[in-house]
Amino acid sequence: MPQSRSSAAIPPEAPAGSKELDVVLFGATGFTGGLTADYLARHVPDGCRWALAGRNQAKLEAVRERLASVDPGLADLPLLLADVADEDSLAEVARRTRVVITTVGPYLEHGEPLVAACAKAGTDYVDLTGEPEFVDRMYLAHHDEAVRTGARIVHACGFDSIPHDLGALFTVKQLPEGLALRVRGMVRASGTFSGGTFASALTAFSRSGQMRQAHAARRRQEPRPENRRVRSSAKRPHFDALAGYWLVPLPTIDPLVVRRSAEALDRYGPDFTYSHYAAVKRLPVALGGIAAVGALALGAQVAPLRKLLISRVPQGEGPSEERREKAWFCVRFIGEGGGRRVFTEVSGGDPGYTETAVMLAESALCLAFDDDNPSTAGQVTTAVAMGDRLLERLVAAGISFTVTDTEST
């Protein structure tokens, strides 16, 4: 089997009484799930015990047959039948493995039963969600149980929100310790968004009230850092002379994830502020983007129109390999503190599919095999659960984390 480009150690023989599988991929018959399966087939370390899970035996067998064309040894890859509507089947999957990957969304509709099963079984969990309401509701319902069992529940392990979460951490580590720090992240990308992402976004727009309620309930329950202040804020659309771009606030899950990492980790300093934007070169493009988001938000309030819009971007389908090869992303950061200013950048290929599959797979392998991850449990971010270990894996997999410039302020 081809060796991983990551720094994972070769897994040892399973000790007596341990779970029989290291990683299970739930949702491999979908488009992004299929890309994740392809990546795992080429990059799991020797001895990794992994399996595919889903509700359709024939489709799972078709995926396995495709993987066996890459590695004939995968002809006998285990297949587990499980359905989000069958809690017993999900409990069985969680019982048998150390880490579950799921690409089955929208997560607000389909995700909770698997989170619950993993939290109860002490099984680590990673997903691709960018749905703030889902993440908040899972914290409220299952964080305490996951802490009790030792499960690490790690949401947003794709383009939402790894480049932003680990990019902010990478930037903070270039700045002095123990001082007030400010970081702003600026996203530019070229690529096609997935049907699942589009459906999740429209659902979030239609549930703005419920999303605010879930967020407020979590803030009431979640512990705050002592003697430290952490904020996420963004200015109105404006031109940033340092960045050289028009910046437009992005209403995504990413700044929430960065803030939670900063609240959990002292390295972000006693007073940390994060701002999150889309970066565009021309003002008309920025204004057009604002108008488009506003129109979608309004359309999402009308159920028939929302269903029509979702049907125009089918879920489970994605762009051709040729189109994905032309896509790219770049998240630039400007960090300031202690008289120092640093410019950093996280960049890679197709964000919505190819690199998302890489990030998701490497997150699972990191949890499964990197023994020097931080000691933690419950619902945690990628920076808190894996931090530098995952960053190293992603660099080895071809995603770039670089310091582009530094200067005194």
Using one digit for the tens of pLDDT, what is the confidence trace for 15-52? 434 899 999 999 999 999 999 999 999 999 999 999 99
Four-CA torsion 369, 61, 109, 293, nearest 10 degrees: 90
Taking residues 101-112, report their average pLDDT: 93
- pLDDT band, residue 293 (cuts 50/70/90): low
Strand 340-348, strand 328-337: pairing: antiparallel
Taking residues 102-112, report their average pLDDT: 93
> For position 9, what pLDDT does the model report?
34
Taking residues 241-250, report their average pLDDT: 93
> For position 291, what pLDDT does the model report?
72
- pLDDT band, residue 11 (cuts 50/70/90): very low
C-alpha to C-alpha distance for 322 and 354, rounded to whole angstroms: 12
Sign of the C-alpha dihedral, residues 167, 171, 172, 174?
Answer: positive
- pLDDT band, residue 313 (cuts 50/70/90): low
Residue 297 scores a pLDDT above 70? no
- pLDDT band, residue 13 (cuts 50/70/90): very low
With b for 16 or more beta-carbon neighbours within 10 A and e for fewer, the 315-332 pattern comes to beebbeeeebeebebbbb
- pLDDT band, residue 106 (cuts 50/70/90): confident
Q: Indicate the residue type of 141.
A: A
Taking residues 242-252, report their average pLDDT: 92
* 3-class DSSP assignment, residue 47: coil
Using one digit for the tens of pLDDT, what is the confidence trace for 135-159? 999 999 999 999 999 999 999 999 9
Using one digit for the tens of pLDDT, what is the confidence trace for 390-407? 999 999 999 999 999 999
Token representation of residue 140? 């409220």
pTM here is: 0.91
> For position 192, what pLDDT does the model report?
66
Taking residues 70-83, report their average pLDDT: 96
CATH class belonging to 21-159+355-394: alpha beta
Token representation of residue 316? 């489970």
> For position 3, what pLDDT does the model report?
33
Using one digit for the tens of pLDDT, what is the confidence trace for 257-270? 999 999 999 999 99
> For position 288, what pLDDT does the model report?
74
Using one digit for the tens of pLDDT, what is the confidence trace for 336-391? 999 999 999 999 999 999 999 999 999 999 999 999 999 999 999 999 999 999 99
> Which one has a higher pLDDT value, 409 or 75?
75
Mean pLDDT of the chain: 90
> Which one has a higher pLDDT value, 278 or 14?
278
Least confident of 111-120, 142-151, 317-326, 330-339: 317-326
With b for 16 or more beta-carbon neighbours within 10 A and e for fewer, the 57-68 pattern comes to eebbeebbeebe
End-to-end CA distance of the chain: give it in Å, rounded.
51
**C-alpha distances in angstroms, 200 versus 94, 283, 290?**
25, 28, 19
Phi and psi torsions of 97, nearest 5°: -130, 160
C-alpha to C-alpha distance for 271 and 302, rounded to whole angstroms: 41
- Rounded percentage of the chain residues whose pLDDT exceeds 70: 89
- Rounded percentage of the chain residues whose pLDDT exceeds 90: 78
C-alpha to C-alpha distance for 45 and 239, rounded to whole angstroms: 46
Strand 21-26, strand 50-54: pairing: parallel
Sign of the C-alpha dihedral, residues 263, 268, 269, 272?
Answer: negative
Q: Which residues fall within 8 angstroms of residue 213, CB to CB, at 6 or more apart?
A: none
> For position 208, what pLDDT does the model report?
84
- pLDDT band, residue 281 (cuts 50/70/90): confident
